């Protein structure tokens, strides 16, 4: 059953808002991907706070234009994985899924309101995730404090050893 004009306008409005609020989006050609695999991808992205939106190319182009994004000509059956918080996270999630499902092909992306190529999306996917980067940052911040505490405890430990040695010598 074809969509009514109101449904199409609603879909364009939703896509426009999602694109405006997105830190990054990944364009994919999902031709040949089964319905179960699409649902698996949607569920996996939803668990991570992202969306996978399948739309007609005309609606996708109209939404991008309204969001202030110039898209090159898109071909095939395109879908959009949208991540609001972490540009690396959405690229990593889609790239990992594409490794397992050859039918899903990454065709490009949108980062900071500009269309980017597959190479940049692949580079984003190879970066460490947000949680790993935060862990590294916390390790870097806590290392000097940990080293200071270790050094101070070493001084007191050496004092105890020296006092024990003097006590044993006198005994």
pTM recorded for the entire structure: 0.71
Which residue range is the domain that position 50 belongs to? 5-127
CB 51 within 8 A of CB 67: no
Spell out the per-residue pLDDT of the chain, length 171, in tens.
677 888 888 988 998 888 888 888 999 988 888 889 989 999 999 998 898 988 888 888 898 888 888 888 777 788 899 987 778 888 999 999 999 988 889 998 988 888 888 899 999 888 887 778 888 888 888 888 888 888 888 778 888 888 888 888 887
d(CA 74, CA 56): 10
- Total count of domains within the chain: 2
Parallel, antiparallel, or unpaired: how do β-strands 50-54 and 114-116 relate?
unpaired
Q: What CATH number corresponds to the domain at position 13?
A: 3.30.70.1730
Instruction: Identify whether residues 54 and 107 lie together within a single domain.
Output: yes
Instruction: Identify whether residues 97 and 68 lie together within a single domain.
Output: yes
CB 63 within 8 A of CB 116: no
Instruction: Identify whether residues 22 and 105 lie together within a single domain.
Output: yes
Instruction: Compute the CA torsion angle 105, 110, 115, 119 (nearest 10 deg).
Output: -50
pLDDT at 1: 66
Instruction: Identify whether residues 36 and 104 lie together within a single domain.
Output: yes
Instruction: Identify whether residues 16 and 90 lie together within a single domain.
Output: yes
Instruction: Identify whether residues 109 and 55 lie together within a single domain.
Output: yes
Q: Is 149 helix (H, G, I), strand (E, B) or coil?
A: helix
Instruction: Identify whether residues 68 and 137 lie together within a single domain.
Output: no
Instruction: Identify whether residues 81 and 96 lie together within a single domain.
Output: yes
Instruction: Identify whether residues 9 and 62 lie together within a single domain.
Output: yes
Instruction: Identify whether residues 111 and 167 lie together within a single domain.
Output: no
Instruction: Identify whether residues 163 and 143 lie together within a single domain.
Output: yes
Instruction: Identify whether residues 81 and 164 lie together within a single domain.
Output: no
């Amino acid at each position: 059953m074809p969509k009514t004009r109101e449904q199409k306008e609603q879909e364009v409005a939703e896509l426009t808002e999602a694109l405006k609020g997105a830190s990054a989006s990944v364009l994919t050609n999902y031709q040949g991907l089964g319905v179960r695999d699409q649902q698996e991808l949607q569920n996996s992205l939803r668990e991570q706070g992202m969306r996978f939106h399948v739309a007609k190319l005309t609606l996708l182009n109209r939404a991008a234009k309204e969001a202030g994004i110039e898209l090159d000509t898109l071909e095939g059956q395109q879908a959009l994985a949208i991540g609001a918080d972490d540009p690396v996270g959405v690229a990593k999630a889609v790239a990992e899924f594409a490794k397992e499902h050859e039918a899903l092909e990454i065709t490009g992306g949108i980062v900071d309101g500009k269309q980017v190529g597959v190479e940049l999306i692949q580079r984003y996917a190879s970066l460490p995730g947000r949680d790993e980067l935060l862990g590294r940052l916390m390790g870097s911040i806590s290392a000097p404090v940990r080293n200071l505490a270790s050094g101070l405890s070493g001084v007191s430990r050496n004092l105890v050893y020296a006092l024990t040695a003097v006590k044993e010598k006198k005994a």
